[in-house]
Chain A
Amino acid sequence: MMQMTTADDSSLINCTTCRLVSRVRRIPKQSFPICPRCGAQMFRRKPNSLARTWALIIAAYILYIPANVYPIMTVISFGKGEPDTILSGVQSLMVSGMWPLAVLVFFASVTVPLVKLLGLTFLLVSVHYQWRWRPKQRTILYRLTEAVGRWSMIDIFMISILVALVRLEAIATIEPGTAATSFAAVVVLTMVAAMSFDPRLMWDAMEQRDG
Protein backbone atom coordinates (compact mmCIF):
# COMPACT_ATOMS: atom_id res chain seq x y z
CA MET A 1 0.00 0.00 0.00
CA MET A 2 1.10 3.48 -0.67
CA GLN A 3 1.31 6.13 1.95
CA MET A 4 -1.22 8.91 1.98
CA THR A 5 1.02 11.93 1.91
CA THR A 6 -0.10 15.21 0.47
CA ALA A 7 2.11 17.85 -1.07
CA ASP A 8 1.18 20.15 1.78
CA ASP A 9 2.26 17.60 4.44
CA SER A 10 5.64 17.43 2.80
CA SER A 11 5.99 21.23 2.66
CA LEU A 12 5.71 21.05 -1.09
CA ILE A 13 3.57 23.25 -3.23
CA ASN A 14 1.75 22.15 -6.36
CA CYS A 15 1.56 24.70 -9.16
CA THR A 16 -2.08 24.62 -10.24
CA THR A 17 -1.14 25.93 -13.68
CA CYS A 18 1.64 23.62 -14.87
CA ARG A 19 1.51 20.94 -12.15
CA LEU A 20 5.14 21.27 -11.13
CA VAL A 21 5.72 20.31 -7.51
CA SER A 22 8.20 22.66 -5.85
CA ARG A 23 9.75 23.00 -2.46
CA VAL A 24 9.24 26.50 -1.17
CA ARG A 25 12.02 27.54 1.15
CA ARG A 26 10.82 30.92 2.17
CA ILE A 27 7.44 32.33 1.38
CA PRO A 28 7.78 36.04 0.62
CA LYS A 29 5.59 38.25 2.77
CA GLN A 30 2.29 39.39 1.27
CA SER A 31 2.93 37.79 -2.05
CA PHE A 32 2.90 34.31 -3.46
CA PRO A 33 5.90 32.31 -4.61
CA ILE A 34 6.36 32.12 -8.37
CA CYS A 35 6.48 28.75 -10.09
CA PRO A 36 10.03 28.20 -11.40
CA ARG A 37 8.73 26.52 -14.54
CA CYS A 38 5.67 28.43 -15.74
CA GLY A 39 5.95 31.70 -13.82
CA ALA A 40 2.45 31.56 -12.35
CA GLN A 41 1.81 32.45 -8.72
CA MET A 42 1.64 29.39 -6.52
CA PHE A 43 -0.46 28.98 -3.41
CA ARG A 44 -0.91 26.22 -0.86
CA ARG A 45 -4.64 26.54 -1.42
CA LYS A 46 -6.45 29.01 -3.65
CA PRO A 47 -6.37 32.38 -1.83
CA ASN A 48 -9.54 33.24 0.14
CA SER A 49 -11.25 30.41 -1.66
CA LEU A 50 -14.28 30.20 0.63
CA ALA A 51 -14.94 33.93 0.91
CA ARG A 52 -14.56 34.49 -2.82
CA THR A 53 -16.75 31.56 -3.79
CA TRP A 54 -19.45 32.63 -1.29
CA ALA A 55 -19.41 36.20 -2.58
CA LEU A 56 -19.71 35.08 -6.18
CA ILE A 57 -22.52 32.62 -5.62
CA ILE A 58 -24.49 35.02 -3.41
CA ALA A 59 -24.31 37.54 -6.25
CA ALA A 60 -25.41 34.79 -8.63
CA TYR A 61 -28.36 33.83 -6.38
CA ILE A 62 -29.52 37.45 -6.34
CA LEU A 63 -29.27 37.81 -10.12
CA TYR A 64 -30.98 34.47 -10.61
CA ILE A 65 -34.27 36.10 -9.55
CA PRO A 66 -34.48 38.83 -12.24
CA ALA A 67 -33.07 36.31 -14.74
CA ASN A 68 -36.16 34.17 -14.27
CA VAL A 69 -38.82 36.80 -13.52
CA TYR A 70 -38.17 39.31 -16.31
CA PRO A 71 -38.55 38.51 -20.00
CA ILE A 72 -35.38 37.25 -21.64
CA MET A 73 -36.63 38.39 -25.04
CA THR A 74 -39.69 39.88 -26.68
CA VAL A 75 -40.93 38.95 -30.12
CA ILE A 76 -42.58 42.02 -31.62
CA SER A 77 -44.74 41.20 -34.62
CA PHE A 78 -47.03 43.76 -36.25
CA GLY A 79 -46.52 46.10 -33.32
CA LYS A 80 -47.60 43.57 -30.72
CA GLY A 81 -45.04 42.35 -28.20
CA GLU A 82 -44.90 38.83 -26.84
CA PRO A 83 -42.48 38.66 -23.94
CA ASP A 84 -40.83 35.34 -23.14
CA THR A 85 -39.18 34.42 -19.87
CA ILE A 86 -36.72 31.54 -19.69
CA LEU A 87 -39.47 29.15 -18.59
CA SER A 88 -42.11 30.36 -21.04
CA GLY A 89 -39.54 29.94 -23.82
CA VAL A 90 -39.16 26.29 -22.84
CA GLN A 91 -42.94 25.98 -22.65
CA SER A 92 -43.44 27.37 -26.14
CA LEU A 93 -40.92 24.86 -27.49
CA MET A 94 -42.93 22.11 -25.80
CA VAL A 95 -46.23 23.41 -27.19
CA SER A 96 -44.85 23.38 -30.72
CA GLY A 97 -43.87 19.76 -30.19
CA MET A 98 -40.11 20.25 -30.15
CA TRP A 99 -39.53 17.98 -27.20
CA PRO A 100 -35.82 17.26 -27.58
CA LEU A 101 -35.04 20.97 -27.85
CA ALA A 102 -37.34 21.83 -24.95
CA VAL A 103 -35.49 19.30 -22.82
CA LEU A 104 -32.11 20.65 -23.98
CA VAL A 105 -33.00 24.28 -23.23
CA PHE A 106 -34.61 23.35 -19.89
CA PHE A 107 -31.50 21.43 -18.93
CA ALA A 108 -29.10 24.19 -20.00
CA SER A 109 -31.03 27.21 -18.71
CA VAL A 110 -32.82 25.89 -15.63
CA THR A 111 -31.22 22.68 -14.37
CA VAL A 112 -27.54 23.54 -14.89
CA PRO A 113 -27.56 26.95 -13.12
CA LEU A 114 -29.59 25.57 -10.21
CA VAL A 115 -27.46 22.46 -9.82
CA LYS A 116 -24.36 24.66 -9.91
CA LEU A 117 -25.62 27.11 -7.33
CA LEU A 118 -26.99 24.45 -4.96
CA GLY A 119 -23.99 22.19 -5.55
CA LEU A 120 -21.45 24.91 -4.75
CA THR A 121 -23.47 25.99 -1.71
CA PHE A 122 -23.46 22.39 -0.48
CA LEU A 123 -19.70 22.10 -1.06
CA LEU A 124 -19.02 25.39 0.74
CA VAL A 125 -21.13 24.32 3.73
CA SER A 126 -19.38 20.94 3.79
CA VAL A 127 -15.98 22.65 3.95
CA HIS A 128 -17.15 25.16 6.52
CA TYR A 129 -18.26 22.42 8.93
CA GLN A 130 -15.32 20.21 7.98
CA TRP A 131 -17.52 17.28 7.05
CA ARG A 132 -15.76 14.00 6.50
CA TRP A 133 -18.64 12.51 4.58
CA ARG A 134 -17.82 11.01 1.16
CA PRO A 135 -15.05 13.35 0.03
CA LYS A 136 -14.61 11.41 -3.20
CA GLN A 137 -18.24 11.88 -4.22
CA ARG A 138 -18.07 15.54 -3.25
CA THR A 139 -14.97 15.93 -5.42
CA ILE A 140 -16.86 14.38 -8.33
CA LEU A 141 -19.73 16.83 -7.71
CA TYR A 142 -17.18 19.65 -7.84
CA ARG A 143 -15.72 18.46 -11.14
CA LEU A 144 -19.25 18.23 -12.53
CA THR A 145 -20.19 21.80 -11.51
CA GLU A 146 -16.97 23.04 -13.07
CA ALA A 147 -17.42 21.19 -16.36
CA VAL A 148 -21.08 21.79 -17.02
CA GLY A 149 -21.38 25.53 -16.37
CA ARG A 150 -20.55 26.88 -19.81
CA TRP A 151 -23.46 25.04 -21.44
CA SER A 152 -25.92 27.47 -19.82
CA MET A 153 -24.92 30.02 -22.43
CA ILE A 154 -27.13 28.35 -25.06
CA ASP A 155 -30.05 30.71 -24.37
CA ILE A 156 -27.88 33.82 -24.62
CA PHE A 157 -26.39 32.66 -27.93
CA MET A 158 -29.84 31.77 -29.25
CA ILE A 159 -31.00 35.33 -28.53
CA SER A 160 -27.98 36.87 -30.26
CA ILE A 161 -28.77 34.78 -33.36
CA LEU A 162 -32.49 35.56 -33.32
CA VAL A 163 -31.74 39.26 -32.96
CA ALA A 164 -29.39 39.08 -35.95
CA LEU A 165 -31.84 37.18 -38.13
CA VAL A 166 -35.24 38.66 -37.44
CA ARG A 167 -35.04 42.28 -38.51
CA LEU A 168 -38.24 42.90 -40.46
CA GLU A 169 -39.00 46.33 -39.00
CA ALA A 170 -42.83 46.45 -39.05
CA ILE A 171 -43.48 42.74 -39.47
CA ALA A 172 -41.28 41.17 -36.84
CA THR A 173 -38.35 42.09 -34.66
CA ILE A 174 -36.83 40.51 -31.59
CA GLU A 175 -35.81 42.54 -28.61
CA PRO A 176 -33.55 41.06 -25.96
CA GLY A 177 -34.94 41.59 -22.46
CA THR A 178 -33.38 42.63 -19.16
CA ALA A 179 -33.26 39.01 -18.01
CA ALA A 180 -30.64 38.31 -20.71
CA THR A 181 -28.06 40.48 -18.92
CA SER A 182 -28.90 38.98 -15.51
CA PHE A 183 -28.81 35.46 -16.84
CA ALA A 184 -25.48 35.99 -18.62
CA ALA A 185 -24.12 37.39 -15.35
CA VAL A 186 -25.34 34.32 -13.45
CA VAL A 187 -23.50 32.05 -15.89
CA VAL A 188 -20.25 34.02 -15.68
CA LEU A 189 -20.43 34.40 -11.88
CA THR A 190 -21.04 30.69 -11.29
CA MET A 191 -18.20 29.77 -13.67
CA VAL A 192 -15.79 32.05 -11.80
CA ALA A 193 -17.16 30.76 -8.48
CA ALA A 194 -16.44 27.15 -9.47
CA MET A 195 -12.91 28.18 -10.45
CA SER A 196 -12.26 29.94 -7.16
CA PHE A 197 -13.40 26.99 -5.04
CA ASP A 198 -10.54 24.76 -3.95
CA PRO A 199 -11.54 21.07 -3.71
CA ARG A 200 -8.41 20.31 -1.70
CA LEU A 201 -10.07 22.02 1.26
CA MET A 202 -12.47 19.08 1.48
CA TRP A 203 -9.54 16.70 1.77
CA ASP A 204 -7.74 18.86 4.31
CA ALA A 205 -10.62 18.19 6.71
CA MET A 206 -10.02 14.45 6.26
CA GLU A 207 -6.45 14.72 7.43
CA GLN A 208 -6.86 17.08 10.33
CA ARG A 209 -8.49 14.57 12.65
CA ASP A 210 -6.25 11.74 11.52
CA GLY A 211 -3.08 13.56 12.41
Chain B
Amino acid sequence: MSIPTGHRLIACQDCDLLHRQRLLRDGERAKCTRCGAVLYRNKRNSLDRTLVFSLTGIILFLMANLFPFLTFQYEGRVQESVLFTGVKELLVQDMWMVAILVLMVSIIIPLLKIIGTLYVLLPLKVNRRPWRAAFMFRLVEALHPWAMVDVYMLGVIVAMVKLSDFATIVPGAALYSFAALLISMAAASAALNPHEVWEQLDVADRI
Protein backbone atom coordinates (compact mmCIF):
# COMPACT_ATOMS: atom_id res chain seq x y z
CA MET B 1 0.00 0.00 0.00
CA SER B 2 1.24 3.45 -0.68
CA ILE B 3 0.21 6.80 0.67
CA PRO B 4 1.14 10.23 -0.65
CA THR B 5 3.40 12.25 1.64
CA GLY B 6 1.56 15.46 0.92
CA HIS B 7 2.78 17.97 -1.55
CA ARG B 8 5.64 19.46 0.36
CA LEU B 9 8.31 17.05 -0.79
CA ILE B 10 9.72 16.57 -4.25
CA ALA B 11 12.52 14.21 -5.25
CA CYS B 12 14.97 14.89 -8.06
CA GLN B 13 14.26 12.73 -11.10
CA ASP B 14 17.97 12.36 -11.87
CA CYS B 15 19.66 11.98 -8.46
CA ASP B 16 16.81 11.22 -6.03
CA LEU B 17 17.67 14.08 -3.65
CA LEU B 18 14.68 15.24 -1.59
CA HIS B 19 13.66 18.89 -1.59
CA ARG B 20 10.97 20.83 0.18
CA GLN B 21 8.64 22.34 -2.37
CA ARG B 22 8.19 26.10 -2.34
CA LEU B 23 5.81 28.38 -4.14
CA LEU B 24 7.40 29.89 -7.20
CA ARG B 25 6.66 33.17 -8.89
CA ASP B 26 5.62 33.25 -12.55
CA GLY B 27 8.40 32.09 -14.82
CA GLU B 28 10.57 30.79 -11.99
CA ARG B 29 11.94 27.30 -11.86
CA ALA B 30 13.33 25.21 -9.05
CA LYS B 31 16.54 23.28 -9.65
CA CYS B 32 18.04 20.35 -7.79
CA THR B 33 20.73 21.63 -5.44
CA ARG B 34 22.94 18.62 -6.12
CA CYS B 35 22.74 17.79 -9.84
CA GLY B 36 21.05 20.86 -11.32
CA ALA B 37 18.04 19.11 -12.87
CA VAL B 38 14.88 21.21 -13.12
CA LEU B 39 12.51 20.02 -10.39
CA TYR B 40 9.41 22.04 -11.23
CA ARG B 41 8.46 25.37 -12.74
CA ASN B 42 5.76 27.92 -12.54
CA LYS B 43 4.49 28.98 -15.93
CA ARG B 44 2.08 31.84 -16.41
CA ASN B 45 -1.33 30.86 -17.84
CA SER B 46 0.08 27.45 -18.64
CA LEU B 47 -3.30 25.77 -19.11
CA ASP B 48 -4.74 28.47 -21.39
CA ARG B 49 -1.66 28.73 -23.54
CA THR B 50 -1.35 24.95 -23.94
CA LEU B 51 -5.01 24.76 -24.95
CA VAL B 52 -4.70 27.54 -27.52
CA PHE B 53 -1.65 26.01 -29.18
CA SER B 54 -3.16 22.51 -29.13
CA LEU B 55 -6.42 23.68 -30.72
CA THR B 56 -4.40 25.48 -33.40
CA GLY B 57 -2.40 22.29 -33.76
CA ILE B 58 -5.49 20.18 -34.54
CA ILE B 59 -6.48 22.48 -37.42
CA LEU B 60 -2.94 22.64 -38.78
CA PHE B 61 -2.61 18.86 -38.48
CA LEU B 62 -5.67 18.37 -40.69
CA MET B 63 -4.40 20.88 -43.24
CA ALA B 64 -0.94 19.31 -43.28
CA ASN B 65 -2.44 15.92 -44.04
CA LEU B 66 -5.12 16.86 -46.57
CA PHE B 67 -3.47 19.44 -48.81
CA PRO B 68 -0.66 18.73 -51.30
CA PHE B 69 2.67 18.59 -49.50
CA LEU B 70 5.29 18.89 -52.22
CA THR B 71 5.07 18.99 -56.02
CA PHE B 72 7.89 17.62 -58.11
CA GLN B 73 8.43 19.04 -61.60
CA TYR B 74 10.88 17.55 -64.04
CA GLU B 75 10.88 18.32 -67.76
CA GLY B 76 7.17 18.93 -67.94
CA ARG B 77 6.25 16.04 -65.69
CA VAL B 78 4.44 17.01 -62.55
CA GLN B 79 4.06 14.74 -59.57
CA GLU B 80 2.14 15.73 -56.49
CA SER B 81 2.61 14.14 -53.10
CA VAL B 82 0.86 14.44 -49.77
CA LEU B 83 2.34 13.82 -46.33
CA PHE B 84 1.21 10.18 -46.39
CA THR B 85 2.78 9.42 -49.81
CA GLY B 86 6.18 8.72 -48.25
CA VAL B 87 4.71 5.99 -46.03
CA LYS B 88 2.78 4.53 -48.97
CA GLU B 89 5.84 4.41 -51.24
CA LEU B 90 7.96 2.82 -48.51
CA LEU B 91 5.28 0.12 -48.21
CA VAL B 92 5.25 -0.35 -51.97
CA GLN B 93 9.02 -0.85 -51.85
CA ASP B 94 8.65 -3.51 -49.13
CA MET B 95 10.17 -1.39 -46.38
CA TRP B 96 7.25 -1.96 -44.05
CA MET B 97 9.17 -1.58 -40.80
CA VAL B 98 10.52 1.83 -41.78
CA ALA B 99 7.10 2.73 -43.22
CA ILE B 100 5.34 1.97 -39.91
CA LEU B 101 7.96 3.88 -37.93
CA VAL B 102 7.62 6.96 -40.16
CA LEU B 103 3.82 6.73 -40.02
CA MET B 104 3.86 6.51 -36.23
CA VAL B 105 6.33 9.28 -35.41
CA SER B 106 5.29 11.79 -38.06
CA ILE B 107 1.50 11.34 -38.20
CA ILE B 108 -0.15 9.09 -35.61
CA ILE B 109 1.79 9.98 -32.45
CA PRO B 110 1.66 13.77 -33.01
CA LEU B 111 -2.12 13.46 -33.53
CA LEU B 112 -2.58 11.30 -30.42
CA LYS B 113 -0.48 13.73 -28.44
CA ILE B 114 -2.56 16.75 -29.43
CA ILE B 115 -5.88 14.94 -28.90
CA GLY B 116 -4.72 13.54 -25.57
CA THR B 117 -3.61 16.96 -24.36
CA LEU B 118 -6.97 18.50 -25.30
CA TYR B 119 -8.86 15.57 -23.76
CA VAL B 120 -7.22 16.14 -20.39
CA LEU B 121 -6.88 19.93 -20.35
CA LEU B 122 -10.23 21.09 -21.78
CA PRO B 123 -12.27 19.56 -18.91
CA LEU B 124 -9.69 20.82 -16.38
CA LYS B 125 -10.30 24.32 -17.70
CA VAL B 126 -13.90 24.05 -16.45
CA ASN B 127 -12.84 22.19 -13.29
CA ARG B 128 -13.93 18.78 -14.39
CA ARG B 129 -11.99 15.58 -14.49
CA PRO B 130 -12.31 13.61 -17.73
CA TRP B 131 -12.81 9.84 -17.66
CA ARG B 132 -9.49 8.02 -17.17
CA ALA B 133 -7.68 11.34 -17.04
CA ALA B 134 -4.57 10.02 -15.29
CA PHE B 135 -4.14 7.24 -17.84
CA MET B 136 -4.57 9.67 -20.73
CA PHE B 137 -2.14 12.19 -19.35
CA ARG B 138 0.42 9.46 -18.65
CA LEU B 139 0.06 8.45 -22.29
CA VAL B 140 0.55 12.04 -23.47
CA GLU B 141 3.74 12.31 -21.40
CA ALA B 142 5.08 8.98 -22.64
CA LEU B 143 4.43 9.88 -26.29
CA HIS B 144 6.31 13.15 -26.03
CA PRO B 145 9.77 12.07 -27.32
CA TRP B 146 8.19 10.02 -30.12
CA ALA B 147 6.32 12.89 -31.77
CA MET B 148 8.92 13.96 -34.32
CA VAL B 149 7.28 16.72 -36.32
CA ASP B 150 10.34 18.95 -35.80
CA VAL B 151 12.83 16.34 -36.96
CA TYR B 152 10.63 15.50 -39.96
CA MET B 153 10.68 19.14 -41.06
CA LEU B 154 14.48 19.05 -41.20
CA GLY B 155 14.27 15.87 -43.26
CA VAL B 156 12.00 17.73 -45.69
CA ILE B 157 14.50 20.58 -46.01
CA VAL B 158 17.41 18.21 -46.65
CA ALA B 159 15.39 16.32 -49.29
CA MET B 160 14.34 19.56 -51.01
CA VAL B 161 17.91 20.84 -51.20
CA LYS B 162 19.17 17.47 -52.45
CA LEU B 163 16.71 17.55 -55.34
CA SER B 164 17.06 21.25 -56.12
CA ASP B 165 19.82 20.73 -58.74
CA PHE B 166 17.89 18.11 -60.55
CA ALA B 167 14.24 19.17 -60.52
CA THR B 168 11.89 21.90 -59.37
CA ILE B 169 10.23 21.28 -56.04
CA VAL B 170 7.19 23.39 -55.26
CA PRO B 171 6.10 23.47 -51.62
CA GLY B 172 2.35 23.01 -51.19
CA ALA B 173 -0.12 24.35 -48.64
CA ALA B 174 0.43 21.26 -46.49
CA LEU B 175 4.14 22.00 -46.14
CA TYR B 176 3.44 25.47 -44.75
CA SER B 177 0.77 24.01 -42.47
CA PHE B 178 3.27 21.39 -41.32
CA ALA B 179 5.85 24.07 -40.53
CA ALA B 180 3.20 25.96 -38.54
CA LEU B 181 2.19 22.71 -36.82
CA LEU B 182 5.78 22.24 -35.71
CA ILE B 183 5.76 25.73 -34.18
CA SER B 184 2.39 25.28 -32.46
CA MET B 185 3.39 21.87 -31.04
CA ALA B 186 6.68 23.27 -29.75
CA ALA B 187 4.80 26.20 -28.21
CA ALA B 188 2.27 23.84 -26.61
CA SER B 189 5.08 21.73 -25.12
CA ALA B 190 6.82 24.84 -23.84
CA ALA B 191 3.59 26.12 -22.29
CA LEU B 192 2.53 22.82 -20.71
CA ASN B 193 3.39 22.40 -17.07
CA PRO B 194 2.92 18.69 -16.24
CA HIS B 195 3.54 19.33 -12.56
CA GLU B 196 0.57 21.71 -12.46
CA VAL B 197 -1.66 19.32 -14.44
CA TRP B 198 -0.97 16.45 -12.03
CA GLU B 199 -1.74 18.65 -9.04
CA GLN B 200 -4.96 19.82 -10.65
CA LEU B 201 -5.98 16.26 -11.47
CA ASP B 202 -5.31 15.40 -7.85
CA VAL B 203 -7.59 18.20 -6.64
CA ALA B 204 -10.27 17.35 -9.21
CA ASP B 205 -10.22 13.83 -7.84
CA ARG B 206 -11.18 14.93 -4.37
CA ILE B 207 -14.16 17.06 -5.33
Q: Which one of A4-12, A52-60, A113-121 is at the interface? A: A4-12
Residues on the B chain within 8 Å of A184, using CB? 97-98, 101
Bound CA–CA A149/B128 (angstroms)? 37
Cβ of A157 and Cβ of B151 under 8 Å apart? yes
Q: Is B4 an interface residue (CB 8 A)?
A: yes
Cβ of A163 and Cβ of B90 under 8 Å apart? yes
Contact status of A161 and B155, CB under 8 A, knowing A24-B2, A176-B98: yes
> Which of A36, A96, A151, A203 contacts B4 (CB under 8 A)?
A36
Bound CA–CA A168/B11 (angstroms)? 58
Q: Is B154 an interface residue (CB 8 A)?
A: yes
Closest to B141 in A: A17
Contacting A at CB under 8 A, from B103-125, are 105-106
Cβ of A10 and Cβ of B18 under 8 Å apart? yes
> Which of A14, A33, A164 contacts B86 (CB under 8 A)?
A164
Cβ of B198 and Cβ of A20 under 8 Å apart? yes
Closest to A188 in B: B101
On chain A, the number of residues with a Cβ less than 8 Å from chain B's Cβ atoms is: 78
Cβ of B9 and Cβ of A12 under 8 Å apart? yes
Cβ of A6 and Cβ of B134 under 8 Å apart? no
Contact status of A165 and B169, CB under 8 A, knowing A104-B154, A139-B35, A142-B14: yes
Cβ of A22 and Cβ of B102 under 8 Å apart? no
Cβ of B13 and Cβ of A14 under 8 Å apart? yes
Bound CA–CA A93/B2 (angstroms)? 57
For A5-37 the 0/1 string (1 means CB < 8 A from B) is: 111101011101111111111100000011111
Cβ of B90 and Cβ of A143 under 8 Å apart? no
> Which of B5, B162, B163, B201 contacts A12 (CB under 8 A)?
B5
Q: Is B127 an interface residue (CB 8 A)?
A: no
Closest to B9 in A: A21
Cβ of B36 and Cβ of A136 under 8 Å apart? yes
Bound CA–CA A13/B2 (angstroms)? 9
Cβ of B14 and Cβ of A153 under 8 Å apart? no
Cβ of A16 and Cβ of B13 under 8 Å apart? yes
Residues on the A chain within 8 Å of B2, using CB? 13, 22-25, 33-36, 42
Contact status of A37 and B159, CB under 8 A, knowing A12-B11, A23-B2, A156-B101: no
Cβ of B35 and Cβ of A151 under 8 Å apart? no
Q: Is B70 an interface residue (CB 8 A)?
A: yes
Contacting B at CB under 8 A, from A138-159, are 139-140, 142-143, 149-151, 153-159
On B, residues with C-beta under 8 Å from A are 1-5, 9-11, 13-18, 33-37, 40, 70, 72, 74, 77, 79, 81, 85-90, 93, 95, 97-99, 101-102, 105-106, 134-135, 137-138, 141, 145-146, 148, 151-152, 154-159, 161-163, 165-167, 169, 194-195, 198, 201-202
> 8 nearest interchain CB pairs?
A157-B155, A160-B86, A14-B11, A7-B11, A164-B85, A161-B159, A164-B86, A6-B16
